[in-house]
């Protein structure tokens, strides 16, 4: 293994690639070579560093200095000044928060606690050696050699880990159901179809530290008696796919996947499946349909996947973050994990505040921190010093909360965080306009099989289109309220059940704003073009 005096981690996450990260990286490699430094300094492509709104970024180790807003033109200066002369390029140094643990200027914020994100931005995600060097795959060794499958299930149950995809079902219980279910060809499926707008935490994990997902899946497979694993990755997540593919290949080569893992006699392998862009396929049974090659539509429940899942075999489906939590639980013990968080929500949760915050990004915290902690202490507060108006908890399928929720704790017993997105709105934003946006999303993403969701999302969008253009009536307000209730009660799956939740929760909070649109034909925030009444509405 070669030794380098410095490592440069270039953020080549999907947003960065779209901004031209690959060109900047090759400029950097060329420059280093030109200066004859290529034996001393190694350039590593890493996943999303959780830095958003700061252009292209890289980290220089061992100092841990983050440079942001870089262009290819800045590269010679960084190489000349920092790498040759040891002087930081002050004008490019980033001092905001980051998910990357570094010892330099960007420090983790108060109350941040990195368990899953521990090695993101630290290790080369495409190197299994670096993962192993940081304690990776020790949990597998422990589980396969020192624990029975029942022990593993018991440990996960004792950790009180709950699903991180939004619904929060106890993971240990899910594993136990699957382990005890009769059936051949059990499967472990990792739901990496992160589609809820505002969420980008799973992508960060897959791009920055994919091996922990693989390790979590192997442990799950061992616990429930499954030998096949599938990772259903959102199709647009190109680097998640490439990093995870590399990780699987390396793990296979290292004997950590395949037959007789670590001589334990346990066989397990993983296949990657790329989604084709349908939000509905993040719903676990629709995901299974899609995996089986059919139209992405949710199934009737019961039976639930632990009884009848992939090809009708008992199946564990867990979110990326859930599976990534598992190796640490096995490694450090359920007691350690259950010691973090609150009474009903154990462990850490990754949040992705975005919208009108100063530092959108990905932050891992123990359950129980307040909404204010994340928005103001970590994400830097509201952009431009403006006032906080509302936050959409978890994404468009979550509830909308107002200012009075800022000091509520993020956990099951107080304010349920959903999948982790926190879409923050400042005082200039219009709630009706936001709801129109959400309505458009659900109308576009409804699979169309059940009546309340297919027809309901259409009618909600129509009415919101009217309201935001100066049409519609107060009767529509009452009608939508009743429609939202029916959709929640009768839709076949979560998509329709939650499609009107944000709207319903926004009504009591911002009724005046709705009435201003509906009765007075005025948008108080000045966002909606109230004079653009659609022709057909007139």
Partner 1 sequence: MAINLTINGQAVAAEAGDTILTAARRAGVYIPTLCYHSDLMPDGVCRVCSVEVKGQRTLCAACCYPVAEGMEVLTHSPRVRESRRMIVELMLANHPQECLTCSRNSKCELQALAREFGIQEVHFKGERKMADVDTSSLSVFRNPEKCILCNRCVRTCEDIQSVAALHASKRGWDTTIVPGMGDELASVVCVNCGQCINRCPTGALTANDPSSKVWDAIHDSTKHVVVQTAPAVRAAIGEEFGMPAGSRVTGKMVTALKMMGFDRVMDTDFTADLTIMEEGSELIQRVTEGGVLPQLTSCSPGWIKFIEYYYPELLPHLSTCKSPQQMFGALAKTYYAEKTGIDPKDIISVSIMPCTAKKFECDRPEMTDSGYKDVDYVLTTREAAQMMREAGIDLPNLPESEYDDPLGMSTGAAVIFGNTGGVMEAALRTAYAIITGTELDNVNIEAVRGMEGVREATVMVGELPVKAAVAHGLANARQVLEGIKNGRFKDYHFIEIMCCPGGCIGGGGQPQPTSEEIRKARIKAIYDEDEAMTLRKSHTNPAVQKLYEEFLGKPLSHKSHELLHTDYTPRDRKTVKAVKVKVES
Residues contributing to the site for partner 1 (CB under 8 A): 278, 295, 300, 302, 443-452, 454-459, 462-463, 475, 479, 482-483, 485-486, 488-492, 497, 536
Q: Is the peptide bond before 189 cis (omega within 30 degrees of 0)?
A: no
Distance CA 26, CA 8 (A): 12
- Mapped to the 3 state alphabet, what secondary structure does 137-159 carry? CHHHHHHHHHCCHHHHHHHHHHH
Q: Which residues pair with 274 in a beta bridge?
A: 233
When the beta carbons of 350 and 460 are compared against partner 1, the nearer one is: 460
CB of 295 to partner 1, least distance (A): 6
Q: What are phi and psi of 44, to 5 degrees?
A: -120, 135
When the beta carbons of 97 and 456 are compared against partner 1, the nearer one is: 456
Length of the chain measured in residues: 538
CB of 469 to partner 1, least distance (A): 14
When the beta carbons of 369 and 463 are compared against partner 1, the nearer one is: 463
When the beta carbons of 102 and 463 are compared against partner 1, the nearer one is: 463
CB of 441 to partner 1, least distance (A): 11
CB of 459 to partner 1, least distance (A): 5
Encoded tokens for 283: 């719903």
Give the pairing type, strands 187-192 and 228-233. parallel
CB of 442 to partner 1, least distance (A): 9
When the beta carbons of 26 and 490 are compared against partner 1, the nearer one is: 490
Encoded tokens for 19: 């901004």
CB of 447 to partner 1, least distance (A): 6
Side-chain-side CA neighbours of residue 397 (13 Å): 28
When the beta carbons of 157 and 459 are compared against partner 1, the nearer one is: 459
CB of 443 to partner 1, least distance (A): 6
Give the pairing type, strands 421-426 and 348-355. parallel
When the beta carbons of 387 and 478 are compared against partner 1, the nearer one is: 478
When the beta carbons of 159 and 491 are compared against partner 1, the nearer one is: 491
When the beta carbons of 157 and 458 are compared against partner 1, the nearer one is: 458
CB of 505 to partner 1, least distance (A): 16
CB of 209 to partner 1, least distance (A): 34
Distance CA 119, CA 6 (A): 17
Q: What ranges make up the beta strands (E) of 221-344?
A: 228-233, 269-274, 315-319
CB of 312 to partner 1, least distance (A): 13
Enumerate residues 6+ apart whose C-beta is below 8 A from 378: 97, 109, 110, 111, 112, 353, 359, 361, 363, 365
Distance CA 213, CA 231 (A): 9
CB of 478 to partner 1, least distance (A): 9
When the beta carbons of 54 and 278 are compared against partner 1, the nearer one is: 278
Enumerate residues 6+ apart whose C-beta is below 8 A from 385: none
When the beta carbons of 342 and 486 are compared against partner 1, the nearer one is: 486
When the beta carbons of 335 and 485 are compared against partner 1, the nearer one is: 485
CB of 410 to partner 1, least distance (A): 21
User: DSSP per residue over 361-425, as a string?
Assistant: B-EEEETT-BHHIIIIIIS-SBGGG--EEEEEESSTTS-EEEGGGTTSBBSTTSB--TTSEEEEE
CB of 483 to partner 1, least distance (A): 6
When the beta carbons of 152 and 438 are compared against partner 1, the nearer one is: 438
Residue with tokens 């057909």: 536
Distance CA 67, CA 45 (A): 15
**Consecutive H or E run containing 211:** helix 211-224
Distance CA 196, CA 494 (A): 12
User: DSSP per residue over 51-105, as a string?
Assistant: B-SS-EEEEEETTTEEEEEE-GGGHHHHIIIIIIT----GGGB--S--SS--SSS
């Amino acid at each position: 293994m070669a030794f380098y005096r410095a490592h440069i981690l270039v953020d080549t996450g999907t947003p960065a690639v779209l901004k031209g990260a690959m060109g900047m990286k090759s400029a950097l490699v060329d420059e280093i070579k030109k200066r004859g430094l290529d034996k001393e300094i190694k350039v590593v492509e890493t996943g999303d560093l959780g830095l958003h709104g700061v252009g292209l970024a890289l980290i220089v180790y061992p100092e841990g200095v983050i440079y942001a807003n870089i262009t290819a033109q800045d590269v010679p200066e960084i190489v000349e000044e920092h790498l040759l002369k040891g002087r930081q390029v002050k004008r490019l140094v980033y001092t905001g928060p980051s998910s990357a643990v570094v010892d330099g200027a960007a420090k983790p914020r108060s109350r941040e606690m990195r368990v899953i994100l521990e090695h993101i931005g630290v290790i080369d995600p495409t190197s299994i050696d670096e993962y192993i060097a940081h304690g990776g795959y020790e949990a597998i060794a422990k589980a396969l050699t020192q624990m029975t499958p029942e022990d593993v299930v018991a440990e996960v149950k004792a950790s009180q880990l709950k699903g991180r995809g939004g619904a929060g079902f106890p993971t240990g219980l899910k594993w136990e159901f699957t382990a005890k279910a009769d059936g051949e060809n059990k499967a472990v499926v990792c739901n990496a179809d992160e589609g809820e707008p505002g969420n980008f935490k799973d992508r960060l994990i897959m791009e920055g530290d994919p091996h922990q997902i693989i390790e979590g899946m192997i442990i799950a497979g061992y616990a429930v008696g499954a030998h096949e694993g599938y990772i259903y990755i959102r199709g647009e997540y190109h680097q998640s796919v490439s990093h995870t593919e590399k990780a699987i290949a390396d793990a296979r080569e290292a004997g950590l996947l395949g037959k007789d893992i670590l001589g334990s006699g346990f066989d397990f392998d993983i296949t990657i499946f790329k989604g084709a862009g349908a939000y509905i396929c993040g719903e676990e049974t629709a995901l299974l349909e899609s995996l089986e090659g059919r139209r992405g539509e949710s199934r009737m429940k019961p039976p639930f996947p632990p009884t009848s899942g992939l090809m009708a075999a008992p199946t564990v489906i867990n979110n990326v973050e859930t599976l990534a939590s598992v190796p640490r639980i096995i490694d450090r013990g359920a007691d350690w994990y259950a010691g973090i968080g609150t009474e009903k929500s154990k462990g850490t949760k990754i949040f992705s505040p975005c919208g009108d915050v100063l530092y959108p990004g990905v932050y891992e915290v123990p359950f129980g921190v307040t909404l204010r902690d994340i928005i103001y202490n970590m994400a830097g507060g509201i952009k431009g010093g403006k006032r906080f108006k509302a936050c959409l908890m978890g994404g468009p399928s979550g509830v909308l909360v107002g200012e009075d929720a800022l000091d509520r704790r993020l956990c099951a017993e107080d304010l349920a965080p959903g999948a982790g997105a926190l879409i923050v709105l400042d005082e200039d934003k219009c709630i009706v306009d936001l709801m129109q946006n959400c309505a458009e999303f659900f109308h576009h993403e409804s699979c169309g099989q059940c009546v309340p969701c297919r027809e309901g999302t259409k009618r909600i969008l129509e009415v919101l289109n009217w309201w935001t253009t100066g049409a519609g009536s107060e009767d529509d307000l009452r009608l939508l309220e009743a429609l939202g209730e029916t959709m929640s009660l009768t839709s076949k799956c979560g998509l329709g059940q939650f499609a009107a939740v944000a709207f319903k929760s926004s009504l009591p909070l911002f009724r005046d704003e709705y009435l201003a649109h509906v009765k007075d034909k005025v948008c108080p925030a000045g966002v909606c073009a109230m004079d653009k009444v659609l022709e057909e509405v007139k």
